[in-house]
């Protein structure tokens, strides 16, 4: 962690267009969940027409069922778990979340998100979480799969907890500051294990962690800060492959002991001797002709 990380800030939801609808109703236990799409066709090999989608359940204490376009996608989805990745046709999806076990015909919707555009080729994670004020929401994030330098990994942090702004520290050093719900920020750091924690912005008051996690080389390691004051705060982790890069070269030696030499000196001597003899004889021959 010696190098100062290069920071790139990404706007939330890039490439994903969302029309949020207000939660129609919250059932007694408040809840959240999410959902993601649905795929009618089992054969989804062509990456040009499909998107890769994961779903994270980050609403505390409330198991849910997730429906996409009216069909059940994940049932009894537990808080703190990640579903997917799913390969889905690009397109628009209506996502609906019900309390686990509820009958969608009669139950009231816990969270819904209509007309979520999941473009073909995108890699996205839809997160069911609490907003800063504690109300359940669905937020789609686009996962950055662009290449990182050799030996490094991208650490992305997403604030999806019912909490104010936070700073994120890795190895005790602040790498992301002032992050607010529901935003994300990324840094590129040397790959390896780090101890990460989340503190209230501008303070040393630890809100979550510390937790040990591995920042994988050539990948995006995405950390979610989620939960609420009542239920407690936790971290969740997702790793998405990004492009790996090759080192810039292979060094190799400093002495020249193994160098390819030019022609050995005795052979050079032989060549020179041949030339000298030819020149001498040629001159003598020419002189004798006069």
Partner 1 sequence: MRSSVVVLVLGLVLAIGTPITWALTRPDATAGVTVEQAIDAPPSTPAPSSAAPSPSGAVPPSAPALDLPPVTTRDAAPTVAAPVPAPVRVSLPAQGVDAPLDPVGVAPDGQMELPEDVDRVGWYRFGPVPGDDGSAVLAGHVDDREQGLGALAPLRSTEVGDVVVVTGANGAETRWQVVSREVITKEVLPLDTIFGREGPPRLVLVTCGGPFIPEIRSYRDNVVVVAEPLP
Map the footprint of partner 1 across residues 54-113, applying CB under 8 A. Answer: 55-56, 68, 71-78, 80-84, 86-87
Nearer to partner 1, 27 or 78 (CB): 78
Residues 126-155 that bind partner 1 (CB under 8 A): 149-151
Is 11 a binding residue for partner 1 by CB under 8 A? The answer is: no
Edge-to-edge strand ranges of the sheet holding 123-130: 50-58, 123-130, 136-142
- Residue 16 contacts residue 124 (beta carbons within 8 Å): yes
The alpha-carbon radius of gyration of the chain (Å, integer) is 31
Q: Does 258 engage in binding with partner 1 (CB under 8 A)? A: yes
Minimum distance, C-beta of residue 115 to partner 1, in the bound complex (Å): 20
| Closest distance of CB 19 from partner 1, Å | 23
* Strands across the sheet containing 184-190: 6-8, 184-190, 152-161, 219-228, 232-241
Nearest alpha carbon to residue 181 among 221, 227, 213, 212: 227
Report the residue from 28, 257, 265, 290 that binds partner 1 according to the rule CB under 8 A: 257
Is 206 a binding residue for partner 1 by CB under 8 A? The answer is: no
Number of residues that bind partner 1 (CB under 8 A): 79
Element containing residue 96 per DSSP (H, E)? strand 91-99
Q: Check residue 9 for interaction with partner 1 (CB under 8 A).
A: no
218: nearest Cα among 154, 124, 122: 154
- Give 26 or 228: the residue with its C-beta nearer to partner 1: 228
The window from 6-14, 93-101, 129-137, 189-197 that contacts partner 1 (CB under 8 A) reads 189-197
Interface characters, 18-57, with partner 1 (x: CB under 8 A): --------------------xxx-x-x----------xx-
Largest CA distance in the chain: 124
224 Cβ neighbours under 8 A, 6+ residues apart: 56, 58, 127, 129, 157, 158, 160, 235, 236, 237, 238
| Contact stretch for partner 1 (CB under 8 A) within 92-100, 157-165, 167-175, 240-248 | 240-248
């Amino acid at each position: 962690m010696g190098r100062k990380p290069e920071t790139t800030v990404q706007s939330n939801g890039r490439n994903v267009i969302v029309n949020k609808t207000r939660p129609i109703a919250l059932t007694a236990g408040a809840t959240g969940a999410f959902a993601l799409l649905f795929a009618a066709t089992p054969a989804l090999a062509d990456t040009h027409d499909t998107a890769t989608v994961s779903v994270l359940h980050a609403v505390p204490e409330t198991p849910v069922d997730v429906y996409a376009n009216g069909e059940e996608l994940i049932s009894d989805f537990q808080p703190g778990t990640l579903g997917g990745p799913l390969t889905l046709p690009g397109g628009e999806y209506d996502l609906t979340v019900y309390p686990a076990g509820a009958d969608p015909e009669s139950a009231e919707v816990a969270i819904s998100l209509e007309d979520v555009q999941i473009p073909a080729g995108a890699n996205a994670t839809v997160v069911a979480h609490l907003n800063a004020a504690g109300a359940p929401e669905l937020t789609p994030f686009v996962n950055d799969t662009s290449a990182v330098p050799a030996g490094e990994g991208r650490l992305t942090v997403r604030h999806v907890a019912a909490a104010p702004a936070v700073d994120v520290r890795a190895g005790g050093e602040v790498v992301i500051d002032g992050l607010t719900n529901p935003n994300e920020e990324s840094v590129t750091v040397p790959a390896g294990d780090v101890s990460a924690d989340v503190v209230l912005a501008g303070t040393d008051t630890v809100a979550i962690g510390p937790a040990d996690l591995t920042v994988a080389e050539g990948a995006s390691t995405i950390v979610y800060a989620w939960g609420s004051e009542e239920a407690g705060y936790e971290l969740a982790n997702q790793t998405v492959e990004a492009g790996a890069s090759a080192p810039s070269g292979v060094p190799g030696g400093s002495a020249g002991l193994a160098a390819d030499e030019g022609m050995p000196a005795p052979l050079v001597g032989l060549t020179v001797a041949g030339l000298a003899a030819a020149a001498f004889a040629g001159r003598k021959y020419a002189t004798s002709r006069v």
